[in-house]
């Protein structure tokens, strides 16, 4: 058996970290992106609430991801193995006791980012668009086995193969005492969460779209049984030869992972200068009010989908024999003749 395990994370993708107890301020006119950066502000005891994190870019500000991956293979031979591989997008993480402010002169985009303030507000603003997007986590498991059983007159081989490919979204999350998103043009949420304690606001001069992404699970299952030699042909017959039965099944499932815009104890206010569209997502204010304004408002459901395809094949070659004996045939003939006599209407035949 050969076993291999490994993980890859390119050196230039190495996560960066910054942890301070007071205020973190980054005003960088030429800043373009924070790639899987970790920023922590404040102490574990709640100290630092008077401080916060502020990152401002003169043009675009992108919170992008790196992809980590790992694999593990167990290989006995070409028909007996188990292989596992997985990958995941890792985004920027900002945790603060105080306020978190992200500003972009043009576009602000965050993918698989985790942005949270324990005691203060979280504010994202851009001169043009704000996009809160999702990364992905993928896992593939592939397994094959082949077993053979032999006896004096026959041989049986069973081959099985199973594969599962799962892709799950990793959404961007915003969490704070209040959450505010302001855009000079559009706001787009895809499988994102913007949740506050005391108030959540989304304000855009143009359109606001609150949507989701698709999670998927694809499976392949295959089983083949091959018999050769002498085996039962059904009834009192036998078959000498070869018989093969196989079944292959493929399934696919797609589920919609929507966005959540909510406030635990406050109001949710959404104001779009243009169109508002909500697809398969939730907007909630359990203890407050929800207000949505726009030139047009569309709230639609998202549908999950599934499909399955199965194919069965049977093939047989060789010689089939039916067993019989003269005594048995004669007895069966006599029984049939007796039945015929009993059924006739002629008195002579009944005598």
In a domain? residue 318: no
User: In the block, which residue shows the tokens 């704070």?
Assistant: 176
216 vs 253: CA distance, rounded Å: 6
In a domain? residue 336: no
For residues 107-126, average pLDDT: 97
Query: From start to end of 21-153, where are the E strands?
Result: 24-28, 33-35, 37-41, 52-57, 61-64, 66-77, 80-90, 93-96, 99-104, 108-111, 114-117, 122-126, 130-133, 135-150
| Structural domain count, the chain | 1
* 148: exposed, middle or buried (Cβ count in 10 Å: 0-12, 13-18, 19+): exposed
Q: What is the mean pLDDT of the chain?
A: 85
In a domain? residue 183: yes
Instruction: Report yes or no: 208 and 186 within 8 Å, Cβ to Cβ.
Output: yes
* 341: exposed, middle or buried (Cβ count in 10 Å: 0-12, 13-18, 19+): exposed
In this predicted structure, the answer to whether residue 44 has a pLDDT above a threshold of 70 is: no
User: Residue 7: its pLDDT value, please?
Assistant: 40
Return the SS3 of 21: coil
The listed range with the strongest mean pLDDT (31-45, 123-137, 327-341) is 123-137
pLDDT digits (tens, 9 = 90+) for 252-305: 999 999 999 999 999 999 999 999 999 999 999 999 999 999 999 999 999 999
Return the SS3 of 249: strand
164 vs 168: CA distance, rounded Å: 13
Return the SS3 of 141: strand
pLDDT digits (tens, 9 = 90+) for 54-104: 888 889 999 999 999 999 999 999 999 999 999 999 999 999 999 999 999
351 vs 348: CA distance, rounded Å: 5
For residues 335-340, average pLDDT: 45
User: Residue 262: its pLDDT value, please?
Assistant: 98
Instruction: Report yes or no: 280 and 301 within 8 Å, Cβ to Cβ.
Output: yes
Residues 6 or more apart in contact with residue 283 via CB below 8 angstroms? 210, 260, 261, 262, 268, 270, 290, 292
User: Residue 15: its pLDDT value, please?
Assistant: 44
Instruction: Report yes or no: 292 and 270 within 8 Å, Cβ to Cβ.
Output: yes
Q: Beta strands 237-257 and 305-322: pairing type?
A: antiparallel
In this predicted structure, the answer to whether residue 347 has a pLDDT above a threshold of 90 is: no
Q: What is the DSSP letter of 350?
A: H
10 vs 22: CA distance, rounded Å: 32
User: Residue 320: its pLDDT value, please?
Assistant: 72
Q: Could you tell me the pLDDT band of residue 4, with boundaries at 50, 70 and 90?
A: very low
User: Residue 149: its pLDDT value, please?
Assistant: 94
* 30: exposed, middle or buried (Cβ count in 10 Å: 0-12, 13-18, 19+): exposed
In a domain? residue 141: no
In a domain? residue 297: yes
Domain around 56: 10-72+80-134+171-212+258-303
In a domain? residue 344: no
Return the SS3 of 333: helix
Instruction: Report yes or no: 288 and 266 within 8 Å, Cβ to Cβ.
Output: yes
107-111, 312-316, 330-334: range with lowest mean pLDDT: 330-334
In a domain? residue 287: yes
pLDDT digits (tens, 9 = 90+) for 187-206: 999 999 999 999 999 999 99
pLDDT digits (tens, 9 = 90+) for 214-264: 999 999 999 999 999 886 655 566 778 899 999 999 999 999 999 999 999
In a domain? residue 162: no
User: Residue 319: its pLDDT value, please?
Assistant: 80
Instruction: Report yes or no: 256 and 304 within 8 Å, Cβ to Cβ.
Output: yes
User: Residue 46: its pLDDT value, please?
Assistant: 54
């Amino acid at each position: 058996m050969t076993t291999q395990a490994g993980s890859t994370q390119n050196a230039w993708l190495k996560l960066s970290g910054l942890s301070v107890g007071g205020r973190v301020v980054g005003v960088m006119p030429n800043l373009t992106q924070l790639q899987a950066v970790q920023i922590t502000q404040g102490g574990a005891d709640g100290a630092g609430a008077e401080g916060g994190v502020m990152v401002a870019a003169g043009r675009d500000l992108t919170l992008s991801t790196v992809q980590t991956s790992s694999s593990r293979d167990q290989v006995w031979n070409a028909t007996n193995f188990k292989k596992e591989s997985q990958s995941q997008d890792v985004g920027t993480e900002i945790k603060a006791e105080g306020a978190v402010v992200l500003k972009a002169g043009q576009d602000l985009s965050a993918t698989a980012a985790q942005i949270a303030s324990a005691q203060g507000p979280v504010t994202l603003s851009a001169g043009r668009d704000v996009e809160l997007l999702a990364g992905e986590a993928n896992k593939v498991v592939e397994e094959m086995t082949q077993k053979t059983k032999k006896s004096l007159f026959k041989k049986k081989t069973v081959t099985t193969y199973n594969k599962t490919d799962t892709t799950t979204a990793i959404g961007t999350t915003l969490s704070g005492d209040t959450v505010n998103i302001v855009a000079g043009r559009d706001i787009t949420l895809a499988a994102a969460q913007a949740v506050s304690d005391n108030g959540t606001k989304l304000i855009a001069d143009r359109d606001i779209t609150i949507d989701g992404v698709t999670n998927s699970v694809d499976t392949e299952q295959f089983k083949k049984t091959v018999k050769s030699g002498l085996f039962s042909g059904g009834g009192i017959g036998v078959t000498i030869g070869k018989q093969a039965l196989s079944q292959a099944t493929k399934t696919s499932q797609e589920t919609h992972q929507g966005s959540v815009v909510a406030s635990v104890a406050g109001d949710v206010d959404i104001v779009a200068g243009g169109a508002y569209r909500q697809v398969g997502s939730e907007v909630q204010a359990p203890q407050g009010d929800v207000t949505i304004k726009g030139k047009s408002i569309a709230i639609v459901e998202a549908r999950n989908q599934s499909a399955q395809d199965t194919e069965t094949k049977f093939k047989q070659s060789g010689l089939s024999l039916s067993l019989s004996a003269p005594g048995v045939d004669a007895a069966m003939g006599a029984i049939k003749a007796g039945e015929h006599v009993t059924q006739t209407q002629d008195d002579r035949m009944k005598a």
